Chain A
Amino acid sequence: MWNREKSIILSKLCVLLFMGLLAAVVVTAPWLTQWFVEFSQAGLAEKASYFMATIYVGSLPAAYLLYSLLKLLRQIEIGQVFTPKNVELLRRISWSCFVGAGMALISLLYYFPWFFLAVAAAFMGLIVRVVKNVVAQAVALKDEADYIV
């Protein structure tokens, strides 16, 4: 039977999967980049180092985002849902998205398709920010409800 605990476990597994994927991308970045510039046939050979720089620098906010996401899921798992700590974690996740979007925006100077990633990351950051605002309001309501006797 599907329940809340199994749903959280599935979410944690997905986050761990993405962590593994990120680690694999970072480790294999030189080969991935080489393969991509050869595959694209768009004369990107001299830009391979830029791609690697984007991957390495971009992996930092991505790793921080995934770590924050895992911490958030742990909090939810122990029943701590509407807490200031979770609001802070959501804020970090949102800013990680915006930082990633900023990096992708800078990267479009040498490769335009990064623009689409920038827009997607910024949009994701915006959604998480709205969720953060909702949770912050819920924390305030819960705080008040806790003091109604």
Chain B
Amino acid sequence: MNESTDADKVRELKQFAGRIRQETVKEISAFGTGHVGGSLSIADLLAVLYGQEMNIKPEDPQWADRDWFVLSKGHCAPALYATLALRGYFPMDWLNTLNRNGTNLPSHADRLKVPGVDVTAGSLGQGASVAVGVALGLKMDGRDNKVYLVIGDGESQEGQIWEMALFAAQHRLGNLIAFIDYNGLQLDGYCKDICSLGDATAKFEAFGWQVVDVPDGNDVPSILQALETVRSKAQKADDRPSMIVLHTVKGLGWSEIAGTPKSHSTSINEQQRDQALAEIQTMMNAA
């Protein structure tokens, strides 16, 4: 790829991230309330994964050669649903049914209801272990599929994350590429005031992972660069699992809540929705 196509690709992925943010805001405001903050903080990552990185076939969600995606912080499913709908896994109008009676799009990611959701998650820590099991199963079969896993910094307070971290390193799961959405916030406030994760990079390195620290985890080129680093390590037959630490802003795109404890789960009225959509559009225009 030359520089101009690189730039085009970045611009395209940034637009995709903006669309994910906008659809997430609309989706949650259609219901009235939801986990908007943690959904917005992973929009750029989802754009990179579903816009470029992952080997997928939206028309065949169960395609045997696909890469797997596990959103262990399952309450941020609204952003994943927006991404999947934009990629054509299911009709866009499903997004208006989030959490409504009888919906296919429940609050937490559900593999039985949503085309494209590989693993059900919602009880924190659990998706990570399932992702590791999938990675191990694929490795046992000698397959090349990769498993992309997203955990939260708050979620990393769960002991199961560290069971998983030991296990993935022990079993040399080089096909596992994980991300921490390190937005510094959890339901009750700032993680550092409650039960701090601290230096995630040092911790995962100590657990035997290859770690890439991304200071601006909402920056598309930085995420692409981190994935490139992981790939080049993998090419050197380094079969350690990978952790990309994304320092993100919870609620990015909607200034009223961004980076504040209020962003975790909040109501959105029409006026707030329009304000957020306009702000996101400004971000997209500037990209």
Bound pair (A, B) = no
